[in-house]
Structure formats: structure tokens, C-alpha cells
Structure 1
Amino acid sequence: MQDHTKKSMLGTRRRILQLLKVKGPLTADELSQELRMTSMGARGHLTALERDGLIEHHTQQRGMGRPSYVYSLTDQGDEIFPRTYPQLASSLLDALRALGGEEAIDRMFEKRTEWVEAQYRARMADKTLEERVKELARIRTEEGYMADWEVLDQDTFVLREHNCSICQIARQCAQACSFELELFRRVLEDAEVSREKHMIQGDLMCAYVMRRAKGARVPSKRRPPMAAKRN
């Protein structure tokens, strides 16, 4: 596909998303009129956008006759439009610091850590240390940190995060990283957790080493249950 054709297609799909954002749910015919193209052409773009998870369709009764298919943005599609979450969070931290100083910042991060700890623990219940490290990597990836993990030996694991979802906040507020490390130590309480690499310090990733604490029980391999004897 030639570059100008590809750019035209992407421009049309961007325009469809903008129309759905501004005007709300629209039919393929309504979109084709807005775009000044055939209904078949509009449907081709709609199919691609729906496949990418950016829009969805449902039936809606509009006057007399059969219900129509109308298209609307999904949450994923809505998120492509500009957001100012980092700027808002930054200004809120500045306001909190002005009102209560560093102690207020500490209390805020402590409360957040308690909330997140409860969420993490709910997903890690009844798991071994290795299973919890694996689950932690999964949770962090879901939160945008692009995490992976590795077993170094039966007592040592490493968790790497290749993206920082709170980078702007972390640069402004050292407590963000400190309480993140504290969070890991709480949910992996039978391990010694240390941060070996830190993006804020110029490393390409954040890397954490989890070593099983001395005296912590090493789980034995589970054996399959024995078949019951029959008389």
C-alpha cells in the first residue's frame, strides 16, 4: 500500500473517531454523509476500527421501521483523545505539599499503598513466593509497567519494569518510588526485596531482586494425590 493511501485511510478513521466523540452514536449512513463517501466505504473503515477495539455497534430504534446499527466509541477508543491526568496529579501534589508539607505527602502515599496492597493481596492469596512474583509481574504489566520476571534460583527472583507509569510524579516526588518499593516488600513479606536498577536514576529499567528470607519455608513439589484403594 502506498504511503499517501495509508495516510488517507488513517485520516478517515481518525475523523470517524472524532465524529463519534462529538456527535455521539451514528449509523454507517450518517457517517458516510459526514465523510462524503459511500456507505460501503464507511463500513470498511468501521469494520477496521471495531476490529481494533476502538468502536462498537449495537441496535437502536430510530423512528418507525427496523432498528438501525449505530456505532459508538469504546473506552479504549475514548482514551486516544488528549488527557491531562499527569498535569492534574502534579498540581494536586503541589497543592497538598503547600497545605501540609512533606508529612501530608507521606500520609497520602501511605494510604494509597494500603489500598493497593489489599488489591494485590487478593490476587496473591494462597500462592507460593514464586507464584506471587509471577502474579506481581502480571499485575504490573496490566498497570502499564511492561513487567517481566525471571527465576535466578529456587530462592531468588528478579522483576523488571521497562516502563514507568508514574514517571512524571516520580520525578517530582521521591515518595512515589519509596512507597512502591515498600508495597513490594509488604506483599512479598517472606522475601528480602531490593531495587537494583532505577529509571529515575538513569537506568533503562527498574529492576527488583526478591530473595527468600532466611527461615522462610521453601515449598516442596506437590505430588499428585494417590488413587483410593478399591475393595
Structure 2
Amino acid sequence: MNTAEHTLFLLKTRGPQTAQQLAALLDLTSMGARKQLETWQEKGMVTFAEVADKPGRPSRRWLLTQAGHARFPDRHAELTLQLIDQVRTLFGEAGLDQLIGSREAASERDYRQHLASSRTLPERVQALVQARSSEGYMAELEQQEDGSLLLIENHCPICAAARQCQQFCRSELDIFQRVLGPDCSVGRVEHLLAGARRCVYVIKSI
């Protein structure tokens, strides 16, 4: 991954960043990071917002535009939307629900296979993160000071489909809960379809 693409990748996975923060992550000077950002801005891929997060002069936070987000995989969104419409037309909502239910069952079986050799909760969550990443969700695991775990999904490869038919992500919480086991609770604290830039699930031992 070259420096230009890495700049977009960092904004996708880490959210809004200052030029100084990106410079440190990219091992560039602040001027070098700004040059990368300004080049992408000219192409319509990034923009910035002035954020007054502390006394004094506001800091400039750079973030992806809609076009910037669109550079990442979307699993052939247009074809997916066409297929959803065709299933609705041919089989109605009941047929679409049956199709989505079958997809959910297949996902659950796949996740259980990924988690089969994992014993501890962190191991199980890490295995789930790997499974979701292989599906294009750009997932990562983050441990909190209170011992809880965050499953972070920086990208939704089926976003277009989920926006048109929200049943596609209706049962993720239930699936995650079932495959991770009864010794933990799973809650969604950020949701892309609710306006967040990513989906985040908090997992706690019980």
C-alpha cells in the first residue's frame, strides 16, 4: 500500500485525524501529510472540519467524503440492489425474509467453525474479528480498561443492501451472542445505519 492509499486507509479505520496525527502514523513530516491530504481533497476524497476540542485555536480534522468511503469494497452494490428488488417482486417480503434467514444461518455456521478451537472470550472475539475481516468488514479488536472488548467494523461491504433492506443486519447481535457463548453479553454502541461512521459492538464477560 503506497502512502497516498495508506492515508485514506487510516482515515477509514481511525476516523477523523489531524495532519499531525497522520504524519506520525505515516512517518511523514506535517507538511508531507498535508500534501497528501490536499491532493485527496482536490480529488473530492477527503474534507475537513474545524473542531474546538480544547481552549484556543480549533484543530482541523480530516475525514473521508462519501466518494472517499466509496473507494473501499462494496461487494458489487448495484447488482445486490437489483437482486433484492427482483426477489421482492417475484416472492414478496416473505420470500426475502426466507432468503435472509438462510444467509444468517450460513453465516452462523461459518462463524462457529472459525471459533471452534478458541477457548477464552478474547480468543473467541479475535476469531470472530478474523472471520468478519475476511468478509470485508475491516474488523479489529480493542480491549478496554474495564476488561470489556470492542469488536470494531470500519467498513460495511453490504452497506448499500443494508440501507435498502435493513433485515440484512437485523440479527447480527443475536448471531454474535450465540456464537460467542452464554458467558458474555453483546451490545451495539455504534451503528452505521444510525449515522455513525462504523459499527461497534461491546462484549463483556458475565
TM-score bracket for the superposition, by shorter chain length:
0.5 to 0.7
Kindly state the Cα deviation for residue 195 of structure 1 after the two structures are TM-superposed.
0.9
SS at match of 1:208: strand
**Structure 1's 102 and 192: CA in aligned 2 closer, same or farther, altered over 3 A?**
farther
Cα deviation for residue 184 of structure 1 reads 1.3
The aligned residue for residue 59 of structure 1 is: none
Identity fraction in percent: 38
Residue aligned with 2:144, SS: strand
Instruction: Give 1:154 deviation, angstroms.
Output: 7.4
Amino acid at match of 1:171: R
Other-structure match for 2:128: 136
1:155 offset after TM fit, Å? 5.7
Residue of structure 2 in register with 1:189 after alignment? 181
State the alpha-carbon separation in 2 of the partners of residues 144 and 103 from structure 1: 28
Q: Partners in 2 of 1:84 and 1:206 — Cα distance?
A: 18
Distance 1:192 1:103, change over 3 A: farther
Q: Distance in 1 between matches of 2:148 and 2:130?
A: 18
Aligned-partner Cα distance in 2 for 1:85–1:209: 29
Q: Does 1:163 align with 2:155?
A: yes
State the alpha-carbon separation in 2 of the partners of residues 84 and 106 from structure 1: 20
Equivalent position to 2:80, from 89, 101, 112: 89
Deviations 1:9-32 (A, max 9, x none): xxxxxxxxxxxxxxxxxxxxxxxx
- Letter matched to residue 87 of structure 1: E
Higher relative contact order (CA 8 A, sep 6+): 2
Alpha-carbon distance between aligned partners in 2 of 1:107 and 1:174, rounded to the nearest angstrom: 14
Contact conserved, 2:191 with 2:198, CA < 8 A, in 1? yes
Structure 1 CA distance for aligned equivalents of residues 158 and 94 of structure 2:
20
* Higher Rg: 1
State the number of aligned residues.
131
- Summarize the Cα distance change of 1:130–1:138 in structure 2 as closer, same or farther, 3 Å threshold: same
Instruction: For residue 121 of structure 1, report the CA deviation from its aligned partner.
Output: 0.9
Q: Do the aligned partners of residues 110 and 155 (structure 1) sit closer, same or farther apart at CA in structure 2, a change above 3 Å counting?
A: farther
Q: How does 1:26-175 map to 2 (within 5 A)?
A: 85-127=76-118, 128-152=120-144, 156-175=148-167
Q: Tell whether the 8 Å contact from 2:75 to 2:157 is kept in structure 1 after alignment.
A: no
> Helix, strand or coil for the counterpart of 2:170?
helix
Matched residues in 2 for 1:100 and 1:212: separation? 42
Contiguous gaps of at least 5 residues in structure 2: 1-73
State the match for 1:52 in structure 2. none
Cα deviation, residue 205, structure 1: 1.1
TM-score (norm 2): 0.58
The 8 Å contact of residues 100 and 167 in structure 2, kept in 1 or not, is answered as: yes
| Shift in CA distance, 91/186, structure 1 to aligned 2, threshold 3 Å | same
Q: Which residue of structure 1 aligns with residue 66 of structure 2?
A: none
Deviations, residues 130-179 of structure 1 (Å, cap 9, x unaligned): 10101111221222111111222676211111111111101100101113
Q: Indicate yes or no: 2:196 matched with 1:200.
A: no
